[in-house]
Amino acid sequence: MTRRSLSGLTILVACLLAACSGGHPDFDLAAYEMDLEQWREQRLGRLKGPHGYLNLAGLFWVEPGTYSFGSADDNDIVFPHKAASRIGIFQVAETGVVMQIDAETDVRYEGIPVRSILIGDDKTDNPVTITHGSLAWTVIERDGRYAVRLRDHEHPAIELFPPIEYYAIDPSMRVSATLRRFDEPRVLNVETVIEGLGYRPQSPGTVVFNLGEETFELEAYASGDKLFFVFGDQTSGRETYPAGRFLYAAMPGDDGVTLLDFNRAYNPPCAFNSFATCPVASPRNRLAVRIAAGEKFDPSTHSTPDSIH
């Protein structure tokens, strides 16, 4: 190979590296890949953890009234077979959910047997978790409605869950984006996987970014000190979850610039079972491009209600 051709090859490699690093010559690809691998391990650990979404075993929407619950089929709310045949009742009012436990049934709050308690929901300052053997339940509040969310800390999905499949790490899917703020933040009405249940995030504006030579826009939702996105693309329903994927980015400073790293795009909780209340990608956030980066979707990892009874 001649010196001239070697020089041309060197320039080509340098240009490719610059493109992959977003134009930053000090970009450390090896460190970036290591950081992503660590993020993926932590992601799997959270999914399998006690507050993850692989152990969800039920979601029971309740209106004002009284509901018996336990494993027997004649209960209003039927728990898995490992539960007592009848545990007690939930008394639901507009102000919350009170639980009353039948005598001789071992139900606990913070390790202490309990007979009656107001179950503070997840939007209160003191959300309550109740346990019964390996089962645990809480009350969630969504859009003015209550539901009892059940977990099984011995759910078979925890042990059976395979490694998550990802697209190959692609640094070119790490792009700068500019937040175009609304004059005032807006409260949006976004659909969820639960028919009739809305998700109403506050949006500071939209972000604009380039992929290749095309320009795209996503509506952003405020989430603490971060921006949160629910987006779909041309892989949705084919290689990735049909309802869309989640992505977080840093809240930009005065310059309005943030970084979208689609290698960190991941599936919502509802990809793993039917007991989550995930928002779906709005029509505005359905991108007419393939985002072949981040987490893929394997339908076989989705638990069905029959698998926990």
pLDDT above 90 coverage of the chain, percent: 86
Model confidence, pTM? 0.87
* Cα angle 160, 158, 147; round to 5: 130
CA nearest 177: which of 259, 264, 262? 259
Q: Look-up: residue for tokens 């693309």? A: 233
Please indicate, yes or no, whether residues 125 and 177 belong to a single structural domain of this protein: no
Domain of residue 173 covers: 163-299
Residue 233 falls inside a structural domain: yes
Q: What is the CATH number for 145?
A: 2.60.200.20
Mapped onto helix, strand or coil, the DSSP state of residue 203 is strand
| The domain boundary residue, chosen from 133, 154, 175 | 154
| The domain boundary residue, chosen from 134, 154, 174 | 154
CA 244 – CA 271 distance, rounded (Å) = 10
Please indicate, yes or no, whether residues 138 and 115 belong to a single structural domain of this protein: yes
Please indicate, yes or no, whether residues 168 and 279 belong to a single structural domain of this protein: yes
Please indicate, yes or no, whether residues 147 and 169 belong to a single structural domain of this protein: no
Residues with Cβ < 8 Å from 82, sequence gap 6 or more? 71, 133, 134, 135, 152
Please answer whether residues 208 and 217 qualify as being in contact, where contact means their C-beta atoms are separated by less than 8 angstroms.
yes
Determine whether 224 is exposed, middle or buried from the number of CB atoms within 10 Å of its CB (0-12, 13-18, 19+): exposed
Give residue 26's pLDDT: 72
Count of the separate structural domains present in the chain: 2
Residues with Cβ < 8 Å from 207, sequence gap 6 or more? 177, 178, 179, 180, 217, 218, 220, 227, 229, 249, 258, 260
Please indicate, yes or no, whether residues 198 and 107 belong to a single structural domain of this protein: no
Q: Read off the pLDDT of residues 190-223 as tens digits, 9 standing for 90 and up.
A: 999 998 899 999 999 999 999 989 999 999 999 9
Is the pLDDT reported for residue 257 higher than 70? Answer: yes
| The domain boundary residue, chosen from 111, 128, 154 | 154
Q: Read off the pLDDT of residues 20-54 as tens digits, 9 standing for 90 and up.
A: 454 455 789 999 999 999 999 999 999 999 999 99
Please answer whether residues 186 and 206 qualify as being in contact, where contact means their C-beta atoms are separated by less than 8 angstroms.
no
CA 161 – CA 163 distance, rounded (Å) = 7
